[in-house]
A and B are shown apart, each in its own frame.
Chain A
Amino acid sequence: MVTMTSDPDPAERSATAAHIEPTGSTLHDDRDGLLGADALRPVSATLIRARYVASIVAYVIWVLMIAGAIVVAVLTGWWWMAAIGVLPLLILLQSLAFTPRRVRAIGYLDAEEDLTIASGIMFRSVHTIPYGRVQSVKIDEGPVDRRYGLAKLTVSTAADGSTVVLPGLPKQEAERLRALLTDRGISTMAAL
């Protein structure tokens, strides 16, 4: 599994003898599925509805733009004016179509010693944050989130500009995670 191109010198050999031995806790790689998704817990499905509701304003704007483009095209007779409406249409459609999948792709796992947060379908990122390295935990509840009893957890570490956001947690679950992060954080706290 390690690319070897040529023999290292003797000093080097001893150094790299212990080369990346896979540990028990590596993520499972499923090339067709989502990276690490099998072990993760999904966030609340209510987030799908919450996201739809939260983007109603945006949808209205997009629809108005599409309508405007069509109206202008009809009034002026320049058919290509309607093409301006294509971009808002695409944004609107992908948002309507993919929001459920996107929400389902968000996952997290509060393991024994670290928290894993993953999101994204095509461009997927999986963050691993040890409890002992967490610098701050924040819970946000927007108006829409609150309506659906959801909360957003923001975790930051000392790593450069690193804040990881986990949306769509039921309120109790967010509180539980926060308490867990703080408690475990104190017991396993690590220095910078």
Chain B
Amino acid sequence: MSTPEQRPETAPDVDATSQALGPAPSPAVPDADASPAETGSVAPSEQRRRTHPITPLVTGWKIVIGVVAVISAQNIARLIDDFTVTRALIGAGVLVAAIVVAIAFSALVWWFTTYMVDEDGVSLHMGVISKSREYAPRARIESVSVERPLLARILGLAKVRVEVAGGGESYLDIEYVKSADAEDLRRRILGVATSTSTAVAGGAGAVGAGDRAQEADVDESVDTARGATGAASSDGAGNTATSTSGGTLQEVLYDGVTDGELIAKIPTERLVRSLLRDVGFLLGIVVSIVGVAVAIILAIWQDGLSFAVIIALLPTAIAVPKYVFGRIESGWGFISRITDRGLRMRRGLANTRTDNIASGRIQRFELRRPLLWRTPDWTAVSVTVAGIDDDSENGAQSALPVGTREELWSTLGHLAAPLGTADDLATLEHLLTAPAREITGVRTPIRAWWIARRTQVTVLLPGALIHRSGIVSRTVQIVPRERIQELTLEDDPFGRKLGVLDLKVGIAGYTLALGSLAREDALALHGVLARDARRLRRYQDREHWPQPALRLLGSETTNSTGADSQEVR
């Protein structure tokens, strides 16, 4: 009925003031971000564009393969029994016809699919008979990722995914565009999205009086600087990191993730060793291999060895290699760099993807250290970002698949707001390495649950709520206190008897359940966190929002990381 809509992004009134007061930043950004390669892309009256003409081939193939797979999987045994040359020819003819129809169909779909990036956001029109018009307003654009599935990659194409704030399937896919164009497109969409946040920053500054003009100044200078680099090459050539001689090679290898300060780079050797040292992963593989082997043996024993049985078991047999490959892929050639739009990451072996996470959007961190990673001091970092749906392990959620201590600190330093302790690194190191029972914090008082007592502990730091858990793989969850959306206390007869309460801490995209805390502890924690949820991260005092500790450092070392990064949510 009456919903305070589009809340999380911009207050309507703030937006309005900013548009009235600071017109300078908004047109400047798309200008600066357009590279000469895109012809006529800057004009406000931009034309709708189609995706790359090869797209129907790529999408058409999927349909054909799907149809063939379904038909052959069901009837392959019969087909093989009645094999004749004529039938094979007929089959081939049908297949060709199917391919033609599929491609023609895809071409039709392609013809009616257009996209446009303008000052207001990104729009995508599609549909032949029933038209659909998707629209991503600039204020709600959260991030843009570029994905290159194998087939598209061979053809030099890429898919651009625009993530929009909101739960579930809130994204717009522009598939497929030329790889080089994809980068430009990504930059342009982010430019449009950033222009809002800088505008809002300007508006907020105006409320705070005085420093708005200065901020706008800085914005402009940053923009012109970026424009210059954009004109010089497709990537930031004025950057220290890329001014090496191997710039072009680097760019090809890392899909254009070459500007900004290097945060983490995972050598293949470390990735392979990390997988071999991941006990959970190995156990999972062993168990599933045994499971699949048993299934195959049982099936063969029951029905005898026949082609049909093998076909039927194929999906099961493929599952394990697929999982292994997925794990390898999620860390292969991983590189992350900090840019003014947050952390840019690139990964993948067959299918590659580049993602963007802005520190302001991260709701929660999870550090994971399996048993055998303790000696080499490796840690995996994954994050929860509102709006990015959980896309298994190789998505944007994994900010660092396996990182050394230095990489962990610089990733967290650039993404996470300070924990507020005297020495954050030492604190985190202690939380990760010490046995859980040696960590001071809140734990369940129930003596009978000695495993939980020894492995789970909750620590409240000035900046974040931290939950340490895990027996073999130590896991540390960091929930910034300013991100708490809602709190729920749950009581039940059992808990009343034992003197415990469950506390659920709701953040966008995740609920941290702290089970069976002592009643006083749970209530005290509830009181403190409820106050945080009420008071922190208000738009009113957005100048005081905590910022990642290393952010200043980052803007000193790379000249394109400017003051406008301050408000890139």
Contact = CB atoms under 8 A, between A and B. Distances in A.
B489 A27 contact: yes
A185 B3 CA distance: 10
B520 A12 contact: no
Nearest to A132: B538
Nearest to A11: B426
Contacts of A2: 440-442, 521
Interface stretch (A56-64, A72-80, A135-143): A135-143
Interface in A98-145: 113-114, 120, 122-139
A125 B440 contact: no
Contacts of B491: 35, 120, 123-126
B506 interface: yes
Contacts of A124: 490-492
Interface in A1-32: 1-6, 8-9, 11-16, 18-27, 29, 31
Given A20-B442, A190-B539, A192-B386, A11 B421 contact: yes
A36 B511 CA distance: 22
Interface centre among A23, A113, A130, A161 (most CB of B within 10 A): A130
Given A124-B491, A159-B511, A26 B386 contact: no
Interface stretch (B4-12, B144-152, B214-222): B4-12
A3 B444 CA distance: 9
B550 interface: no
Q: How large is the interface on A (under 10, 10 to 19, 20 to 34, 35 or more residues)?
A: 35 or more
Contacts of B499: 31
A125 B423 contact: no
Given A16-B459, A114-B530, A125-B490, A139 B525 contact: no
A129 to B, nearest CB: 5
A191 B443 CA distance: 30
A1 B7 contact: no
Contact of B485 (A5, A16, A159, A182): A159
A35 to B, nearest CB: 5
Contact of B524 (A1, A125, A161, A178): A1
Contacts of B540: 188-189
Given A158-B386, A160-B506, A185 B492 contact: no
A11 to B, nearest CB: 4
A167 to B, nearest CB: 16
B521 A128 contact: no
A45 interface: no
Contacts of B539: 189-191
A186 interface: yes
A138 B442 contact: no
Given A132-B538, A192-B483, A182 B437 contact: no
B527 A158 contact: no
Interface string B539-563: 1101001000000000000000000
A19 B439 CA distance: 13
Q: Say what secondary structure dominates the interface of chain B.
A: mixed
Interface in A141-178: 157-162, 164, 178
Contacts of B534: 113-114, 130-132, 188
Interface string B469-491: 00000000000001101111111
Given A23-B528, A158-B508, A3 B430 contact: no
B523 interface: yes
A125 B531 contact: no
Interface in B219-256: none
A15 B536 CA distance: 20
Contact of A192 (B363, B488, B519): B363
A136 to B, nearest CB: 4
Contact of B4 (A1, A164, A185): A185
Nearest to A129: B486
A3 B427 CA distance: 19
Contacts of A127: 486-488
Contact of A138 (B1, B438, B439, B483): B1
Contact of B489 (A12, A35, A114, A135): A35
A190 to B, nearest CB: 5
Contacts of A6: 437-438
Nearest to B489: A126
A190 B9 CA distance: 10
Contact of B486 (A26, A35, A36, A159): A159
Contacts of B165: 192
Contacts of B1: 137-139, 178
A114 B484 CA distance: 13
Contacts of A120: 491
A172 to B, nearest CB: 15
A26 B526 contact: yes
Nearest to B142: A192
B442 A3 contact: yes
Interface string B307-334: 0000000000000000000000000000
B462 interface: yes
B527 A22 contact: yes
B422 interface: yes
B488 A182 contact: no
Contacts of A11: 421-423, 426-427, 430
A8 B528 contact: no
B460 interface: yes
Contacts of A26: 523-524, 526-527
A114 B361 contact: no
Nearest to A123: B492
A189 B427 contact: no
A20 B430 contact: no
Contacts of A132: 534, 538
Contacts of A35: 489, 491, 501
A158 B533 contact: no
B137 interface: no
Contact of A162 (B422, B434, B485): B485
Given A128-B488, A190-B539, 15 more contacts: A6-B437, A11-B430, A12-B430, A15-B422, A15-B427, A20-B528, A22-B527, A25-B527, A25-B530, A25-B531, A137-B3, A159-B486, A162-B485, A190-B538, A192-B386
The 7 closest A-B pairs by CB, nearest first: A159-B506, A26-B527, A11-B426, A15-B421, A158-B508, A159-B485, A136-B3
Interface of A: 1-6, 8-9, 11-16, 18-27, 29, 31, 35-36, 113-114, 120, 122-139, 157-162, 164, 178, 182, 185-186, 188-192
